[in-house]
Amino acid sequence: MILVLATAVTGSCTGASPDLSIKSTIKEVHAMKDANKMIPPVSSFTSAPLRNRLRVELKAPVSEVWALIGDLSRFPEYSSGLEKVVATHDASGALTEYVCHFKPGENNGEGISHREKIRWYEPNRGYASSGEEGNAFGLSNDLNLVAVEPSEEGTILTWDEYYDAEDLDSRRADYDQALMDIGEHLRRRFGGAIVGRYVDR
């Protein structure tokens, strides 16, 4: 910590404001601490394999990305298929679940609603959720895991989907399309690039 702060003060010799440099460095230190917070092992939530993954490097700090990603009510801002999302919190303010209300499809007069229960939530690090049984997508043993971590460009966001389903081919294709849509929205909003894409075969 002493070395880091010393570096920040040294930056004032180059014309940078010492106060701004120190504040920036403190933010970076906090971001590093958040990144070191462990993500729970997936095996503690589900036995399903990884089916889909998206990784995006964004040109914004973790705190800025998390302000959007961590507020589930803002999900429609970066997902074209969503009409609205209703997030529920307990008395302490902790997020407990959220319900996605999807826009009506071309062959469906009514949009689908899908409830997700929060399994893990750590500000500026990530969250995990699972759909309720008997959901409209035919998913079981599922886990949605979203994580952020600092990078040289700003933030790496990783979005993983684990699940079992009767029609795996359709679900894989649907998730791949949905994740790419999310990635493009985030890339346009913050700048950056999609750096990883995986579909289980």
The per-residue pLDDT for range 38-51, each reduced to its tens digit, is 899 999 999 999 99
More confident of the two residues 4 and 76: 76
> What local confidence, expressed as pLDDT, does residue 111 receive?
85
Largest Cα span, the chain: 64
Distance from C-alpha of 154 to C-alpha of 30, rounded to nearest angstrom: 14
Report yes or no on whether pTM surpasses 0.85: no
More confident of the two residues 83 and 105: 83
Q: Residue 97 — very low, low, confident or very high, per pLDDT cuts 50/70/90?
A: very high
> What local confidence, expressed as pLDDT, does residue 2 receive?
36
Residue 34 above 90 pLDDT? no
- Assigned token pair, 145: 């895991």
More confident of the two residues 16 and 193: 193
* CA angle, residues 92, 41, 195, in degrees to nearest 5: 100
Please report how the helices 168-190 and 62-69 are oriented relative to each other, as an axis angle in degrees rounded to 10.
Answer: 130
Residue 5 above 80 pLDDT? no
> What local confidence, expressed as pLDDT, does residue 201 receive?
86
